[in-house]
Amino acid sequence: MTANKKLLFLPGDGIGPEVMGEVRRVIDWMAKRRTAAFDITDGLVGGACYDAHGCAVTDETVADAAAADAVLLGAVGGPKWDDVPREHRPEAGLLRLRKDLDLFANLRPAVVFDALAEASTLKLDVVKGLDIMIVRETTAGVYFGTPRGIEDLPGGGSKGFDTQVYTDAEVDRVARLAFDLARKRSSKVHSVEKANVMESGVFWRREVARVHRDFPDVELHNMYADNCAMQLVRYPRQFDVIVTDNLFGDLLSDCAAMLTGSLGMLPSATLGPTDSSGRRAAMYEPVHGSAPDIAGKHMANPLATILSFAMCLRYSFDMGEDADLIEQAVQNVLSGGLRTADIMQDGMAKVSTTVMGESLVAELDKLIGA
């Protein structure tokens, strides 16, 4: 066996534990067939952690996450915790992990699998072959900016406010990562802001242009966020890499995700800076939420989480070949006609979470001729 890789598993809420269970199946397969061993530690995050400890993530779990080679997260949230104070809501656990681990670049690929192209709400010729990478900044911007609050006004009435703020260093590192990534793809970056109305947008555009001087071989386009939303549904194939701030990235990545037919198919990686020993903190999670309405019903699609694990192999462990295998196996089970409820199409076979996981592993065996 190769040296053990330390993974922290945070299944979270709703369908999180079910879909993470299918990743375990893939990990067991890796141990058996690929001699790749992973040390897995489990932890609580989100509502599950609130129920046990009264907060959305504990200091110990944040420390475990920092010590792990990679974190794999299921999903957080659900109506059960709607009345919990905001600082303890399930989402706060996710935001704290991003902030404390300095996970500044959230990579959200929106890839249309051929077998699913018809499942998109957009026309086939608009989405076929689509392959976009959204790079969303995740440690700054309006999500974390201060001052923020809800206050009474001295003369009566009240106000609610947040602060959108970016430093040059924060824009620099995420832009650099996006340009680097573009070099491995089609060498085209769209940087997205609202420079027409926001000072922070003017600043973002200026700093991205400065970083771009180090990447003259990469094409840079600046685009306003509202136009980007429109272009994503009009002519999405014009995009390769999109780099944008925390809030615009949140919105645009959901929009891009739906081009692919289902949120149930989309993985993500959130990366931190690389330290002097070449180690980089990273968290991998599906883009979909905790889907409390179908939790425990064996209906959830585990593929987004399994594809997140493939990203983990690629970005954290330099195991691109194994990641390719998993991605190919996903293509094959889909081409073979298997569908979970979220991607169900006429004439296909509707399967449960577990059957999808088992079929994927059987496909992996076929791929390596086992």
The residue ranges that bind ligand IPM (CB under 6 A) are 91, 94-95, 250
CB of 125 to ligand IPM, least distance (A): 29
Pick the closest to residue 107 from 331, 319, 308 (CA basis): 308
CB of 250 to ligand IPM, least distance (A): 5
Q: What is the 3-state secondary structure (H, E, C) of 139-207?
A: CCHHHCCCCCEEEECCCCCEEEECCCCCCHHHHHHHHHHHHHHHHCCCCEEEEEECCCCCHHHHHHHHH
Q: Which of 194, 240, 245, 315 is catalytic?
A: 194
Identify which of residues 256 and 364 has a Cβ nearer to ligand IPM in the complex: 256
CB nearest ligand IPM: which residue?
Answer: 91
Q: Which of 226, 293, 318, 366 is catalytic?
A: 226
Rounded-to-integer distance, Cα 256 and Cα 61, Å: 32
Q: Which of 50, 143, 284, 315 is catalytic?
A: 143
Among this protein's residues, is 254 annotated catalytic? Answer: yes
267 near 305, Cβ under 8 Å?
Answer: yes
Q: Where are the beta strands (DSSP E) in the chain?
A: 5-12, 38-42, 70-75, 105-111, 131-137, 149-152, 158-161, 188-193, 219-224, 241-244, 267-274, 280-286, 338-339, 349-350
291 near 18, Cβ under 8 Å?
Answer: no
Q: Which does 245 bind (CB under 5 to 8 A by kind): ligand IPM, Mg ion, none?
A: none
229 near 114, Cβ under 8 Å?
Answer: no
Q: Which of 64, 162, 172, 254 is catalytic?
A: 254
Identify which of residues 250 and 322 has a Cβ nearer to ligand IPM in the complex: 250
Identify which of residues 137 and 250 has a Cβ nearer to Mg ion in the complex: 250
362 near 324, Cβ under 8 Å?
Answer: no
Q: Which does 44 bind (CB under 5 to 8 A by kind): ligand IPM, Mg ion, none?
A: none
CB nearest Mg ion: which residue?
Answer: 250
CB of 362 to Mg ion, least distance (A): 33
Among this protein's residues, is 143 annotated catalytic? Answer: yes
CB atoms within 10 A of CB 202: 14
CB of 104 to ligand IPM, least distance (A): 13
Identify which of residues 76 and 360 has a Cβ nearer to ligand IPM in the complex: 76
Rounded-to-integer distance, Cα 182 and Cα 221, Å: 13
Among this protein's residues, is 250 annotated catalytic? Answer: yes
CB of 268 to ligand IPM, least distance (A): 8
Identify which of residues 91 and 100 has a Cβ nearer to ligand IPM in the complex: 91
Rounded-to-integer distance, Cα 229 and Cα 330, Å: 28
Among this protein's residues, is 194 annotated catalytic? Answer: yes
For Mg ion, the binding residues (CB under 5 A) are 250
Q: Which residues are catalytic?
A: 143, 194, 226, 250, 254
